[in-house]
């Protein structure tokens, strides 16, 4: 699988399209199914009840059940919000 190189803001669009991509430093990347900030998986692709794929983003920011990880991970989550079908706040 070819890994596209792009700026951080564009990584989530590749995730939403199901394509592999990484920012230039490799800290924010996707294999098209999962989305990672460093080695932490922050996004996933699941199959919904209707058979369609759904992009699920885990909100690793303050005041969520997942909790704050880092400023950079919070920024990565923010970039991905508009590309996710569902944002999971960890039960809060």
Please determine, for residue 5, whether its predicted confidence score (pLDDT) is greater than 90.
Answer: yes
- Report how far residue 59's alpha carbon sits from residue 90's, in angstroms, rounded to the nearest whole number: 7
What are the pLDDT digits (tens) for 26-85? 999 999 999 999 999 999 999 988 999 999 999 998 788 888 899 999 999 999 999 999
CA 35 to chain centre: 4
Look at phi and psi of residue 63 and say left if phi exceeds 0, alpha if psi is from -120 to 50, else beta: left
Q: Report the predicted TM-score, pTM, of the whole model to 2 decimal places.
A: 0.92
Q: Which CB contacts under 8 angstroms, 24+ apart, belong to 16-19?
A: 16/55, 16/83, 16/84, 18/45, 18/53
> Nearest 5 degrees, angle CA 43-CA 2-CA 82?
30
């Amino acid at each position: 699988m070819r890994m596209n190189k792009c700026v951080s803001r564009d990584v989530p669009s590749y995730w939403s399209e199901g394509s592999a991509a990484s920012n230039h430093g490799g800290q924010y990347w996707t294999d098209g199914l999962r989305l990672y900030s460093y080695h932490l998986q922050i996004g996933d692709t699941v199959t919904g009840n209707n058979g369609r794929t759904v992009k699920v983003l885990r909100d690793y920011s303050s005041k969520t059940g997942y909790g704050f990880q880092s400023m950079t991970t919070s920024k990565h989550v923010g970039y991905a919000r508009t590309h996710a079908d569902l944002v999971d706040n960890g039960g809060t």
